[in-house]
Amino acid sequence: MMEAQTATDELAGWVPLFLTASSGQTRVEWGYMGAKRFTEPFCFDTLQMLARRPFNQLFRRQSGLELLLERVQRQPGLPLKGLVFHMSRCGSTLAAQWLAALPDSVVLSEPEPVDTLLQWPVTEDDVARIQALLAALGQPRRAGDRHLFLKTDCWHMAHIDRLLAAFPGTPWVFLYRDPVEVLVSHRWQPGWQMVPGALTAHGFHPPADLQNKPLANGAWLLGRILEQARHAIQRHGNGLLVNYAALPGALEDKIAGHFGLELDELDPAPLRAASQSDAKRGQAPFRADASEKRAAADEEVLELAARWLDAPYQWLEQHAASLP
Protein backbone atom coordinates (compact mmCIF):
# COMPACT_ATOMS: atom_id res chain seq x y z
CA MET A 1 0.00 0.00 0.00
CA MET A 2 1.62 3.22 -1.13
CA GLU A 3 2.06 6.37 0.91
CA ALA A 4 0.27 9.49 -0.33
CA GLN A 5 3.14 11.87 0.20
CA THR A 6 3.30 13.29 -3.29
CA ALA A 7 1.96 16.47 -4.80
CA THR A 8 -1.56 17.50 -3.88
CA ASP A 9 -2.94 17.30 -7.43
CA GLU A 10 -2.15 13.57 -7.48
CA LEU A 11 -5.09 13.13 -5.10
CA ALA A 12 -7.60 14.72 -7.45
CA GLY A 13 -10.62 12.44 -7.39
CA TRP A 14 -9.55 10.71 -4.16
CA VAL A 15 -11.54 10.94 -0.91
CA PRO A 16 -10.94 9.78 2.68
CA LEU A 17 -12.67 6.41 3.09
CA PHE A 18 -12.03 6.23 6.83
CA LEU A 19 -9.65 7.35 9.56
CA THR A 20 -7.69 5.09 11.89
CA ALA A 21 -5.67 5.58 15.06
CA SER A 22 -3.12 3.07 16.34
CA SER A 23 -0.20 3.42 18.73
CA GLY A 24 -0.63 7.17 18.76
CA GLN A 25 -0.54 7.40 14.97
CA THR A 26 -3.55 8.80 13.10
CA ARG A 27 -3.98 7.76 9.49
CA VAL A 28 -6.21 8.53 6.53
CA GLU A 29 -7.22 5.75 4.13
CA TRP A 30 -7.88 7.25 0.70
CA GLY A 31 -9.92 5.73 -2.10
CA TYR A 32 -10.42 6.84 -5.69
CA MET A 33 -13.93 8.19 -6.28
CA GLY A 34 -13.51 9.98 -9.59
CA ALA A 35 -16.67 11.73 -10.73
CA LYS A 36 -19.07 9.57 -8.70
CA ARG A 37 -21.49 11.53 -6.53
CA PHE A 38 -22.73 10.99 -2.99
CA THR A 39 -26.28 10.05 -3.91
CA GLU A 40 -26.96 7.12 -1.57
CA PRO A 41 -28.97 7.94 1.57
CA PHE A 42 -25.81 7.56 3.67
CA CYS A 43 -22.16 8.26 2.85
CA PHE A 44 -21.25 4.96 4.50
CA ASP A 45 -22.84 3.08 1.60
CA THR A 46 -20.91 5.08 -0.99
CA LEU A 47 -17.57 4.81 0.83
CA GLN A 48 -17.98 1.06 1.44
CA MET A 49 -18.74 0.55 -2.24
CA LEU A 50 -15.61 2.49 -3.15
CA ALA A 51 -13.52 0.47 -0.69
CA ARG A 52 -14.66 -2.77 -2.35
CA ARG A 53 -13.64 -1.69 -5.83
CA PRO A 54 -10.68 -3.78 -7.09
CA PHE A 55 -8.70 -0.63 -7.93
CA ASN A 56 -9.01 0.70 -4.39
CA GLN A 57 -8.19 -2.68 -2.88
CA LEU A 58 -5.00 -2.80 -4.92
CA PHE A 59 -3.95 0.85 -4.91
CA ARG A 60 -5.55 2.39 -1.82
CA ARG A 61 -3.42 5.18 -0.43
CA GLN A 62 -2.55 6.03 3.15
CA SER A 63 -1.40 9.29 4.67
CA GLY A 64 -1.19 11.09 7.97
CA LEU A 65 -3.59 13.84 8.94
CA GLU A 66 -0.90 16.35 8.02
CA LEU A 67 -1.67 15.71 4.35
CA LEU A 68 -5.26 16.79 4.93
CA LEU A 69 -4.04 19.98 6.59
CA GLU A 70 -1.62 20.69 3.75
CA ARG A 71 -4.03 19.81 0.97
CA VAL A 72 -6.80 22.14 2.14
CA GLN A 73 -4.56 25.11 1.36
CA ARG A 74 -4.64 24.19 -2.34
CA GLN A 75 -7.97 22.37 -2.54
CA PRO A 76 -10.32 24.09 -0.05
CA GLY A 77 -13.41 22.29 -1.29
CA LEU A 78 -16.89 23.71 -1.58
CA PRO A 79 -18.11 26.27 0.98
CA LEU A 80 -20.34 24.74 3.65
CA LYS A 81 -23.83 26.08 2.96
CA GLY A 82 -25.69 24.39 5.81
CA LEU A 83 -25.64 21.82 8.60
CA VAL A 84 -28.47 19.38 9.31
CA PHE A 85 -28.66 18.10 12.90
CA HIS A 86 -31.43 15.81 14.04
CA MET A 87 -33.03 13.74 16.78
CA SER A 88 -33.10 10.44 14.78
CA ARG A 89 -35.96 8.94 12.77
CA CYS A 90 -37.36 12.38 12.08
CA GLY A 91 -36.89 13.14 8.38
CA SER A 92 -33.22 14.11 8.24
CA THR A 93 -32.50 11.60 5.46
CA LEU A 94 -35.41 13.07 3.50
CA ALA A 95 -33.87 16.52 3.93
CA ALA A 96 -30.46 15.25 2.81
CA GLN A 97 -31.89 13.53 -0.28
CA TRP A 98 -33.83 16.68 -1.15
CA LEU A 99 -30.67 18.78 -0.88
CA ALA A 100 -28.81 16.22 -3.00
CA ALA A 101 -31.41 16.78 -5.74
CA LEU A 102 -30.21 20.37 -6.12
CA PRO A 103 -28.19 20.80 -9.33
CA ASP A 104 -25.27 22.60 -7.68
CA SER A 105 -24.73 20.85 -4.35
CA VAL A 106 -22.75 18.07 -2.70
CA VAL A 107 -24.38 16.47 0.34
CA LEU A 108 -22.45 14.47 2.92
CA SER A 109 -24.95 12.35 4.85
CA GLU A 110 -23.47 11.06 8.12
CA PRO A 111 -19.93 10.54 6.74
CA GLU A 112 -18.07 7.98 8.83
CA PRO A 113 -14.69 9.78 8.71
CA VAL A 114 -16.29 12.82 10.37
CA ASP A 115 -17.79 10.62 13.07
CA THR A 116 -14.37 9.09 13.73
CA LEU A 117 -12.65 12.47 13.98
CA LEU A 118 -15.26 13.76 16.42
CA GLN A 119 -14.59 10.77 18.69
CA TRP A 120 -10.92 11.66 19.01
CA PRO A 121 -9.76 14.00 21.79
CA VAL A 122 -9.92 17.70 20.98
CA THR A 123 -6.52 19.06 19.95
CA GLU A 124 -5.15 22.55 19.43
CA ASP A 125 -5.71 22.17 15.69
CA ASP A 126 -9.22 20.72 16.08
CA VAL A 127 -10.83 23.43 13.96
CA ALA A 128 -8.25 22.98 11.21
CA ARG A 129 -8.71 19.20 11.25
CA ILE A 130 -12.47 19.43 10.88
CA GLN A 131 -12.18 22.00 8.11
CA ALA A 132 -9.58 19.94 6.26
CA LEU A 133 -11.58 16.71 6.46
CA LEU A 134 -14.75 18.41 5.18
CA ALA A 135 -12.71 19.96 2.37
CA ALA A 136 -11.36 16.56 1.32
CA LEU A 137 -14.82 14.99 1.35
CA GLY A 138 -16.56 18.06 -0.05
CA GLN A 139 -14.76 18.58 -3.34
CA PRO A 140 -16.95 19.45 -6.36
CA ARG A 141 -18.39 16.31 -7.96
CA ARG A 142 -19.74 18.11 -11.05
CA ALA A 143 -18.65 21.17 -12.98
CA GLY A 144 -21.60 23.16 -11.66
CA ASP A 145 -21.29 22.26 -7.97
CA ARG A 146 -21.19 25.35 -5.79
CA HIS A 147 -22.33 24.34 -2.28
CA LEU A 148 -21.72 21.71 0.39
CA PHE A 149 -24.16 20.42 3.00
CA LEU A 150 -23.39 18.19 5.96
CA LYS A 151 -26.01 16.01 7.59
CA THR A 152 -24.62 14.76 10.90
CA ASP A 153 -25.38 11.65 12.93
CA CYS A 154 -27.98 12.34 15.61
CA TRP A 155 -25.44 12.14 18.43
CA HIS A 156 -23.32 14.85 16.81
CA MET A 157 -25.47 17.44 18.58
CA ALA A 158 -22.89 16.84 21.31
CA HIS A 159 -20.32 18.40 18.96
CA ILE A 160 -22.26 21.34 17.58
CA ASP A 161 -19.93 23.82 19.32
CA ARG A 162 -16.90 22.25 17.60
CA LEU A 163 -18.58 22.17 14.19
CA LEU A 164 -19.77 25.77 14.40
CA ALA A 165 -16.34 26.84 15.61
CA ALA A 166 -14.94 25.32 12.41
CA PHE A 167 -17.68 26.92 10.28
CA PRO A 168 -18.82 30.04 12.13
CA GLY A 169 -21.99 31.67 10.95
CA THR A 170 -23.11 28.63 8.94
CA PRO A 171 -26.90 28.17 9.02
CA TRP A 172 -28.01 24.99 10.77
CA VAL A 173 -31.28 23.19 11.30
CA PHE A 174 -32.37 20.74 13.98
CA LEU A 175 -35.04 18.24 12.95
CA TYR A 176 -37.04 16.52 15.66
CA ARG A 177 -40.21 14.50 16.12
CA ASP A 178 -42.82 13.47 18.67
CA PRO A 179 -40.77 11.34 21.11
CA VAL A 180 -43.33 8.53 21.26
CA GLU A 181 -43.13 8.06 17.50
CA VAL A 182 -39.32 8.02 17.57
CA LEU A 183 -39.21 5.46 20.37
CA VAL A 184 -41.66 3.18 18.57
CA SER A 185 -39.51 3.43 15.43
CA HIS A 186 -36.45 2.32 17.41
CA ARG A 187 -38.41 -0.49 19.05
CA TRP A 188 -39.39 -1.79 15.62
CA GLN A 189 -35.92 -1.36 14.12
CA PRO A 190 -33.32 -0.38 16.76
CA GLY A 191 -30.47 1.88 15.80
CA TRP A 192 -27.08 0.87 17.10
CA GLN A 193 -27.01 3.99 19.28
CA MET A 194 -29.66 2.29 21.42
CA VAL A 195 -27.03 -0.10 22.77
CA PRO A 196 -26.02 1.14 26.25
CA GLY A 197 -22.47 2.50 26.21
CA ALA A 198 -22.22 2.63 22.40
CA LEU A 199 -21.58 6.39 22.40
CA THR A 200 -19.21 6.90 25.31
CA ALA A 201 -16.56 8.18 22.89
CA HIS A 202 -18.97 10.99 22.06
CA GLY A 203 -19.48 11.87 25.72
CA PHE A 204 -22.72 9.99 26.39
CA HIS A 205 -22.52 8.02 29.65
CA PRO A 206 -25.92 6.53 30.50
CA PRO A 207 -27.01 5.97 34.11
CA ALA A 208 -25.96 2.61 35.53
CA ASP A 209 -29.54 1.39 35.86
CA LEU A 210 -29.98 1.57 32.07
CA GLN A 211 -27.02 -0.65 31.19
CA ASN A 212 -29.21 -3.64 30.34
CA LYS A 213 -32.20 -1.70 28.99
CA PRO A 214 -31.67 -0.67 25.36
CA LEU A 215 -35.01 1.10 24.86
CA ALA A 216 -34.70 3.00 28.14
CA ASN A 217 -31.10 3.86 27.28
CA GLY A 218 -32.31 5.13 23.91
CA ALA A 219 -34.93 7.31 25.57
CA TRP A 220 -32.28 8.79 27.85
CA LEU A 221 -29.97 9.38 24.86
CA LEU A 222 -32.68 11.03 22.79
CA GLY A 223 -33.53 13.22 25.76
CA ARG A 224 -29.92 14.34 25.98
CA ILE A 225 -29.94 15.17 22.26
CA LEU A 226 -33.07 17.29 22.68
CA GLU A 227 -31.49 19.06 25.66
CA GLN A 228 -28.39 19.80 23.60
CA ALA A 229 -30.59 21.21 20.84
CA ARG A 230 -32.27 23.45 23.41
CA HIS A 231 -28.92 24.77 24.63
CA ALA A 232 -27.63 25.19 21.06
CA ILE A 233 -30.60 27.24 19.88
CA GLN A 234 -30.02 29.56 22.85
CA ARG A 235 -26.24 29.83 22.36
CA HIS A 236 -25.86 29.97 18.60
CA GLY A 237 -27.43 32.12 15.95
CA ASN A 238 -28.51 30.86 12.53
CA GLY A 239 -30.41 27.90 14.00
CA LEU A 240 -33.81 26.64 12.85
CA LEU A 241 -36.10 24.12 14.54
CA VAL A 242 -38.25 21.94 12.27
CA ASN A 243 -40.69 19.30 13.48
CA TYR A 244 -41.10 16.18 11.36
CA ALA A 245 -44.82 16.94 11.19
CA ALA A 246 -44.03 19.97 8.99
CA LEU A 247 -42.27 17.85 6.36
CA PRO A 248 -42.04 17.66 3.42
CA GLY A 249 -43.54 21.15 3.00
CA ALA A 250 -40.97 22.74 5.32
CA LEU A 251 -38.18 21.78 2.92
CA GLU A 252 -39.26 24.55 0.56
CA ASP A 253 -41.17 26.73 3.02
CA LYS A 254 -38.52 27.00 5.75
CA ILE A 255 -35.27 25.13 5.15
CA ALA A 256 -34.62 26.45 1.63
CA GLY A 257 -34.86 30.06 2.78
CA HIS A 258 -32.87 29.39 5.93
CA PHE A 259 -30.02 27.97 3.83
CA GLY A 260 -30.27 30.82 1.32
CA LEU A 261 -31.39 28.61 -1.57
CA GLU A 262 -32.91 30.19 -4.66
CA LEU A 263 -35.45 27.72 -6.02
CA ASP A 264 -37.47 29.92 -8.41
CA GLU A 265 -35.34 29.22 -11.48
CA LEU A 266 -34.77 25.52 -10.81
CA ASP A 267 -36.58 22.61 -12.40
CA PRO A 268 -39.00 21.63 -9.62
CA ALA A 269 -39.40 18.01 -10.77
CA PRO A 270 -36.24 16.51 -9.14
CA LEU A 271 -36.90 18.31 -5.86
CA ARG A 272 -40.55 17.29 -5.85
CA ALA A 273 -39.61 13.68 -6.58
CA ALA A 274 -37.11 13.67 -3.72
CA SER A 275 -39.59 15.19 -1.26
CA GLN A 276 -42.31 12.68 -2.16
CA SER A 277 -40.16 9.54 -1.99
CA ASP A 278 -39.21 7.33 0.94
CA ALA A 279 -35.69 8.62 1.53
CA LYS A 280 -34.34 5.26 2.68
CA ARG A 281 -36.15 3.05 0.16
CA GLY A 282 -35.39 4.54 -3.20
CA GLN A 283 -38.41 4.95 -5.42
CA ALA A 284 -40.99 3.88 -2.83
CA PRO A 285 -43.44 6.72 -2.14
CA PHE A 286 -43.34 8.53 1.18
CA ARG A 287 -46.01 7.25 3.59
CA ALA A 288 -47.00 9.13 6.73
CA ASP A 289 -46.95 6.76 9.71
CA ALA A 290 -47.36 9.02 12.75
CA SER A 291 -50.79 7.62 13.63
CA GLU A 292 -49.57 4.04 13.20
CA LYS A 293 -46.61 4.62 15.49
CA ARG A 294 -48.65 6.34 18.18
CA ALA A 295 -51.19 3.50 18.10
CA ALA A 296 -48.34 1.02 18.63
CA ALA A 297 -47.01 2.81 21.73
CA ASP A 298 -47.43 0.71 24.87
CA GLU A 299 -47.18 1.73 28.50
CA GLU A 300 -43.39 1.33 28.58
CA VAL A 301 -42.88 3.67 25.62
CA LEU A 302 -45.23 6.26 27.10
CA GLU A 303 -43.50 6.12 30.47
CA LEU A 304 -40.02 6.45 28.94
CA ALA A 305 -41.11 9.40 26.80
CA ALA A 306 -42.62 11.11 29.83
CA ARG A 307 -39.50 10.51 31.93
CA TRP A 308 -36.74 11.50 29.54
CA LEU A 309 -38.16 13.31 26.53
CA ASP A 310 -41.36 15.25 27.06
CA ALA A 311 -39.87 18.26 28.86
CA PRO A 312 -37.15 19.14 26.29
CA TYR A 313 -39.51 18.31 23.42
CA GLN A 314 -42.17 20.67 24.72
CA TRP A 315 -39.55 23.40 25.21
CA LEU A 316 -38.47 23.09 21.57
CA GLU A 317 -42.09 23.18 20.42
CA GLN A 318 -42.83 26.30 22.45
CA HIS A 319 -39.67 28.02 21.27
CA ALA A 320 -40.36 27.17 17.62
CA ALA A 321 -43.92 28.49 17.98
CA SER A 322 -42.67 31.78 19.41
CA LEU A 323 -40.54 32.58 16.37
CA PRO A 324 -41.88 34.52 13.36
Percent of the chain with pLDDT over 90: 86
Percent of the chain with pLDDT over 70: 96
**pLDDT tens by residue, 90-121:** 999 999 999 999 999 999 999 999 999 999 99
**pLDDT tens by residue, 59-97:** 989 999 999 999 999 899 999 999 999 999 999 999 999
- Which pLDDT belongs to residue 61? 93
Which of 67-81, 139-153, 189-203, 264-278 shows the lowest per-residue confidence on average (mean pLDDT)?
264-278
Higher local confidence (pLDDT), 214 or 289:
214
Is the pLDDT score of 128 beyond 60? Answer: yes
Packing angle, helices 92-100 and 268-275, rounded to 10: 160
**pLDDT tens by residue, 171-230:** 999 999 999 999 999 999 999 899 999 999 999 999 999 999 999 999 999 999 999 999
Is the pLDDT score of 7 beyond 50? Answer: no
The whole-number average pLDDT for the span 274-297 is 83
**pLDDT tens by residue, 32-61:** 999 899 999 999 999 999 999 999 999 989
Do 211 and 200 contact (CB within 8 A), yes or no? no
- Which pLDDT belongs to residue 22? 84
Q: What is the mean pLDDT of the chain?
A: 93
- Which pLDDT belongs to residue 323? 79
Is the pLDDT score of 279 beyond 90? Answer: no
Is the pLDDT score of 2 beyond 50? Answer: no
Got the DSSP string for 10-63? GGTTEEEEEEEEETTEEEEEEEE-TT----SSSHHHHHHHHHHSHHHHHH-EEE
The whole-number average pLDDT for the span 111-139 is 96
pLDDT band (50, 70, 90) for residue 4: very low
Phi first, then psi, for residue 178 (nearest 5°) are -45, 120
Q: If 0-12 CB within 10 Å is exposed, 13-18 middle and 19+ buried, where does residue 215 land?
A: middle
Domains and CATH numbers, the chain: 2-322 (3.40.50.300)
- Which pLDDT belongs to residue 324? 72
